[in-house]
Amino acid sequence: MSALLPPALGAADLLGLFGHFLMLSLLAVGGAITTAPGMNRYVVVEHQWITDAAFSTSVALAQAAPGPNVLFVAVIGWNVAGPLGALATMTGTLLPSTVLTLYATRWGAARRDTRGMRAFTTGLTPLTIGLLMATGWVLAQPYVRDGLRSTGAIALIAFSVAVMLRTRLSPMWLVAVGAIIGALGGV
């Protein structure tokens, strides 16, 4: 076997890999990246399927690529056991969150008119708005701080907020307006 190819794992090892990533996914509060130390311990320290450098490279490569942050799990799996390793790690990572989301969505839909569910969703509204505002603030900083573009950036932000508060217009139209202004050399 070539040194460039990942080792072939038996069915028991693939099942163990799947099970370990399944268990870690239930602990992934804050995203899959928060469980990377547990992944490292399992595939590098305990089983020595890949090196520490290969693990770090897997994470860095996947984080640099466009797409969801969870892609690093597939790269680790691929480096451990090729396509079957990628399938084992991704399935193990995504299965619990998918099932829990499906169940919670159905459970919530069946109880959407209850007092508790209304309170829960009403309580999430300010949290969601606050997180969106914080994200918007972080993304606007390079433009607001730029002396030449700060007035235009602040005007565009104010316009977007006013439109969102007064209409039911899809935010995608405002994104399109911002893209056009940016393409024309504005903000």
pLDDT of residue 1: 45
More confident residue, 103 or 148: 103
Angle (CA) 20 24 27, round 5° = 155
Residue listed under structure tokens 């989301």: 101
Residue listed under structure tokens 């595939």: 43
- The SS3 of residue 146 is coil
Distance CA 50, CA 132 (A): 39
Kindly report, residue by residue over 45-97, the tens digit of the pLDDT. 999 999 988 899 898 888 888 888 899 999 999 999 999 999 999 999 999 98
Specify whether the backbone of 146 is left (phi greater than 0), alpha (psi in -120 to 50) or beta: beta
pLDDT of residue 16: 97
Tokens of 92: 């193990």
Give yes or no for a contact between 82 and 1, defined as CB atoms under 8 angstroms apart. Answer: no
Handedness of CA 155, 160, 161, 162 (dihedral sign): positive
Give the model's confidence band at 5: pLDDT under 50 very low, under 70 low, under 90 confident, else very high: low
Instruction: Provide the 10 A C-beta neighbour count for residue 49.
Output: 20
| Average pLDDT of the segment spanning 8-35 | 89
Residue in 158, 186, 160 with CA at minimum distance from that of residue 171: 160
User: pTM, whole model, 2 decimals?
Assistant: 0.60
| Average pLDDT of the segment spanning 27-32 | 76
pLDDT of residue 106: 93
CB-based burial of residue 145 (10 Å sphere; 0-12 exposed, 13-18 middle, 19+ buried)?
Answer: exposed
